[in-house]
Copies of this chain bind each other. A is one copy, B any other.
Amino acid sequence: MDAIEIETVAEATPSDPVLIEGLPGVGHVGKLAAEYLLEEFESELVRRVYADEFPPQVSIDDEGVAELVCAEFHAVETEGRDLLVLTGDHQAGSNAGHYHLTEAFLDVATELGTDRLFALGGVPTGELIEEYHVLGAVTDADLKGDLTDAGVEFRDDEPAGGIVGVSGLLLGLGRRRGLDAACLMGETSGYLVDPKSARAVLEVLESVLGFELDYESLEDRAEEMEEVVGKIQEMQNQSAQVPTDDDLRYIG
C-alpha cells in the first residue's frame, strides 16, 4: 500500500459541491453533524481514503466483516447546494500524517469540483452550555458576511489555541490553494458527545447552503445525552451530601 491510497467507489458527478468535513474531535460535534447529513439526505459513497498514518486497525460491521480504517467521501444531494461529506473514525497519528492526509482530502475535493468547504467541529468551554453559539474562522475576511448573517460569531483571536487537526489544516492548506474555507465550531462543554452543539452547527449550514433539516432523530440523541447528564449531576449532588472518607477524617 502507498502511504495514502484513494479508492474510487462510485463515479459521482456532483454539481459544484461544497465539502463538509466532520471527523472526530471535541464533543464529536463535527462528526455528529456530518453523519446527520448522511442520515437525512440521499447520499452515495464515492471515495475511500486509506493511509498508513491511520491506526493499524479494522472495524467489524454488523455482518462480522472487517473494514480497513479509512475516511469516506459521500456525494449528497439537497434541495440547496450539492454536498461532498467527509467522515471517518480517525485522524492521523503524527504531525506529518495530518498534513499528508489533509492534502489528499483537498485533492479529492478539488477533483470532484469543490472550491468551497466547511470544516465542522466543537470548541470546548469547560462548562455545560445553556445557549449554543457557533464560533467561526475563515480563510478570507470576505467570507464572514454570510456567516455572520447566519448567526456565526467571530471573536478576536479565538479559539485561543487555534484549530488543530484536519479541520485546522483544511483551512491552512486550503487557503494556500486559494479555496474558500470556513470552520464552524459549536460551543460544547467538551466532556460529552454533544448533539445540541451539532444541531447549532447544522442550522448555520441550512441557512448558508439553502437546505432544510428535520431534527427529530438528533433531538432523540440529545434527550438521551440529557438523561446521562442528569444522572451524572444527580450522582454529584448525592456525593456532595454524603461526607467522604476525607471529610470524616478531619471531623472526627
Contact = CB atoms under 8 A, between A and B. Distances in A.
Interface residues of A, number: 63
Interface in A143-198: 144, 154-159, 162-166, 168-169, 171-173, 175-176, 181, 183
A95 B93 contact: yes
Contacts of A93: 94-95
A181 B58 CA distance: 13
B56 A169 contact: yes
Copies in the complex: 4
20 contacts: A1-B173, A1-B176, A52-B100, A56-B92, A56-B99, A56-B166, A57-B162, A57-B169, A58-B168, A58-B171, A61-B157, A62-B157, A63-B154, A64-B155, A66-B137, A66-B172, A68-B176, A95-B97, A248-B250, A249-B249
Contact of A95 (B53, B66, B181): B53
A59 B172 CA distance: 9
A95 B50 CA distance: 12
Contacts of A44: none
Contact of A171 (B66, B162, B183, B250): B66
A151 to B, nearest CB: 14
Determine the main DSSP class of A at the interface with B. mixed
Contacts of A63: 141, 154
Interface in A109-129: none
A9 to B, nearest CB: 13
Contacts of A94: 93, 95
